[in-house]
Structure 1
Amino acid sequence: MPPSQTSTQRTDTAQTSTKPARRRGLLFRLAAVLLGFLVVLVVVEVGLRLSGYAPVSLRNIWRLNPLDETRQQRGDYYSLYEENPHGDFEPLPELDGDRWELLGGDGAPRPLERIDERPWCVEYRHSSLGLRERELDGYWPPPGTTRIACVGDSFAYGQGVPAAKTLPRTLEAELGNGAEVVSISRVGWDLSEETKQLARFRQEHHCGKAIFVFVLNDLLLTKELALRNEAIFQRMHDREESLERFRSGLWQLGPSRLCQLISASLADHRVSQETLAWYRDCFDPAKNDVGLDLFEQQLAELASLKDCRVAFVIFPIMRQLDDDYPFLAAHERVAEMATAAGLPVLDLLPEFRGQDARSLWVNAVDNHPNSRGHAIAAKAIARWLREALPEFLEPDERH
């Protein structure tokens, strides 16, 4: 056999023998990578368990309804919380008898015996007019007093805040003797309903001044924007359903904290991004021309209310309160439209600049302003009224 042929055969044999070795080496490295990845997952899982991590449930706030007929008609209830992060909440009330209904965050009934799982509460007690307000005597305010209506939605109402620490009460305290600030607000009201409720209140009680506390979600929406808003709430519902499946236990050792972390983080990011885009589009004429046209009409109506001077206050969304605040353009547009309608305008955003937004939340689930947020707003409004609108504080004249 020629030497060249022998050499070729040896080379082929060597190459053939090295292929299985290479495959074994590749498989070994792949197995090592997978094993390392598995070890990392286990370490992270153990770390999350040791730290006590559990994703925040959006259904964490329970509700206690009194079954007394009068209080039911007025819409009284309590929100119940696991913790008291800012010291705003109060201990549970004394429960006399069985005339109470306990509901979980999903709206489903819970045995009343489980109420100790939520030892903190905020009470929502309403007047005969259905307002979170004391009963007023007679049509006129006391002599030498100016009555100011604080009109708005859940921000002015004080969702998640005891009545004594809400914007109307703290503003009244800031203004001092001679001012009576009345809360005409409710969760879920938009500008149309707020105007209607102010008119209803003025049939029963004199009120010559009103502060409208505007939040960016108070606009009328097109059908498309309304559907997008519903879709965001559906994603929040889906997030909770997904977490419930993970909590049911995929492992023999219990539910995976890592799976919960990943699922909650992805869902929260998506909801956050879609919510930001939704707020921006609400003030885009190309996306919400109907809502903005109606808003312009509503502002003109407020400016021309008979025997009632209106001031307009813009309350910021409690998110990213720095130079990158995502809704600055919307604030500027609202202020421009309200000023053009002839309304005095105060934008509270500068008062909140530089604040840690999370420190101003009711809690990790409820992003409404807590008592400190209400106090910041009240101080700014009181200062603005004294400096820019002193006539707003003049006592009401009886006639």
Structure 2
Amino acid sequence: MGVLSRVGRREWLLLLGSVLLTLTVAELVLRVGEPSATYDLMYRPSDDPVLGVELAQGADFEFDGLDVLIPPTRIRTGAQGHRGPDVAIPKPPGRRRVVCIGDSMTFGWGVEHKDTFCARLAPSLGPEWDAVNLGVPGYNTVQEVRMLELRGLVYEPDLVVMLFNGSDLEPPIDHGDAGGTWAWLVDHSAILRRVHRAFRGSEEDHTDAGRTAEPDFAPAVAAVAQLGKLGREHGFDSILLSFSDFGGRQALKEAAQTAGLVTGEAGPDFAGRDAELIIPGDGHPNARGHEVILARLLALVATLD
């Protein structure tokens, strides 16, 4: 009996060793071409249910994409929890502020901070301007305006820029365990990142199956109306720039104009220029693409009273 027991234990140990070796090899192989996840590094849970998550404060890490491996960029946030340097609160006399809101495109996905349209906007407007980038990857229009309302007004903006794209009409992304144990594990294991993406993809497919072809514009329309209201109450101008043409989103454009926002489209500037302006395989604008967005924004700023 003792001999059989020892043999059984030996077989179990061999099996366990084989499994561990296989997992180790798989982990090393996947790390070669797998983007490093940033759930634990990039996000923290928000105390506001609309936002769900916010950018982590004091982050400093290398970002190389989420689903597609892209050239690595440095992500840094300060104590104020936005990408880029903190700015003085209250606003010093003589200073002017532009606050940029949006999702990953405003955030500068795959682009160094200095190359984002938001960081370039301040020096382009003049030496008295500061820029605050409140873009958060995964946010929709409702969350973007809520972010401005809760976190952005303290910067006393003179100008607010919202960059819109089609995904901003989608319901909020479920970030799940942001800041928790699972997020930490996903950040530290390529295998678990693959599992996490597969599970998230199956959830999105299930959700897509129940959607109608036409997105619900009502929440976004209400959000841009709220942006206009905030501008009137707090004395700032607002620009809504669509990354593509508005197309079937005319209701959103009309609502923005009714609310007093200046609207524009960057779609024509990008037409047929993906190889020049878009990160390959990813869909986000590269540094040159951000230059194009900046030029379009400056043209819209020139129309303000």
- Could you state the TM-score of these two structures normalised by the residue count of structure 2? 0.63
Indicate conservation of the 8 Å contact 1:211/1:312, yes or no. Answer: yes
Partners of 1:119 and 1:369 in 2: how far apart? Answer: 12
Partners of 1:215 and 1:175 in 2: how far apart? Answer: 24
Check if 1:309 corresponds to 2:237.
yes
Deviation at 1:74?
Answer: 3.5
Letter paired with 1:151: I
Deviation at 1:383?
Answer: 2.1
Aligned to 1:358: 275
Aligned to 1:348: 266
Partners of 2:98 and 2:279 in 1: how far apart? Answer: 26
Deviation at 1:159?
Answer: 0.4
- What RMSD over aligned residues (CA atoms) do the two structures have, in Å? 3.7
Partners of 1:80 and 1:346 in 2: how far apart? Answer: 30
Check if 1:300 corresponds to 2:300.
no
Tell me: CA distance 1:141–1:196, structure 2 relative to 1, closer, same or farther (3 Å): farther
Deviation at 1:328?
Answer: 5.6
Aligned to 1:188: 138
Aligned to 1:23: none
CA-to-aligned-CA distance 1:278-319 (integer Å, 9 cap, x gap):
8xx8783xxx3xx31222222211111121332211112xxx
Partners of 1:215 and 1:119 in 2: how far apart? Answer: 21
Partners of 1:282 and 1:384 in 2: how far apart? Answer: 34
Aligned to 2:252: 334
Aligned to 1:375: 291
Q: 1:185 aligns to what SS in structure 2?
A: coil
Partners of 1:168 and 1:146 in 2: how far apart? Answer: 14
Aligned to 2:60: 76
Match of 1:128 among 71, 79, 94: 79
Partners of 2:56 and 2:262 in 1: how far apart? Answer: 38
Letter paired with 2:84: E
Deviation at 1:73?
Answer: 4.8
Aligned to 1:139: 90
Match of 2:36 among 52, 62, 67: 62
Indicate conservation of the 8 Å contact 1:148/1:208, yes or no. Answer: yes
Partners of 2:212 and 2:259 in 1: how far apart? Answer: 20
Indicate conservation of the 8 Å contact 1:151/1:194, yes or no. Answer: yes
Tell me: CA distance 1:328–1:186, structure 2 relative to 1, closer, same or farther (3 Å): closer
Indicate conservation of the 8 Å contact 1:152/1:184, yes or no. Answer: yes
Bigger radius of gyration among the two: 1
Deviation at 1:131?
Answer: 0.5
Aligned to 2:15: none
> How many residue pairs get matched?
227
CA-to-aligned-CA distance 1:29-67 (integer Å, 9 cap, x gap):
xxxxxxxxxxxxxxxxxxxxxxxxxxxx9x64335888x
Deviation at 1:140?
Answer: 0.9
Tell me: CA distance 1:351–1:297, structure 2 relative to 1, closer, same or farther (3 Å): same
Give structure 1 stretches of 5+ with no counterpart.
Answer: 1-56, 82-104, 107-117, 227-240, 245-270, 317-326, 392-399
Check if 1:216 corresponds to 2:166.
yes
Letter paired with 2:63: S
- Could you state the TM-score of these two structures normalised by the residue count of structure 1? 0.49
Aligned to 1:165: 115
Q: 1:140 aligns to what SS in structure 2?
A: coil
Indicate conservation of the 8 Å contact 2:269/2:292, yes or no. Answer: yes
Matches within 5 A, 1:27-106: 60-63=34-37, 73-80=57-64
Indicate conservation of the 8 Å contact 1:213/1:312, yes or no. Answer: yes
Indicate conservation of the 8 Å contact 2:217/2:251, yes or no. Answer: no
Q: 1:212 aligns to what SS in structure 2?
A: strand
Tell me: CA distance 1:183–1:328, structure 2 relative to 1, closer, same or farther (3 Å): closer
Partners of 1:282 and 1:131 in 2: how far apart? Answer: 35
Tell me: CA distance 1:331–1:76, structure 2 relative to 1, closer, same or farther (3 Å): farther
Give structure 2 stretches of 5+ with no counterpart.
Answer: 1-30, 42-54, 175-190, 195-200
Tell me: CA distance 1:283–1:76, structure 2 relative to 1, closer, same or farther (3 Å): farther
Indicate conservation of the 8 Å contact 1:149/1:183, yes or no. Answer: yes
Deviation at 1:176?
Answer: 3.0
Tell me: CA distance 1:283–1:376, structure 2 relative to 1, closer, same or farther (3 Å): farther
Letter paired with 2:257: T
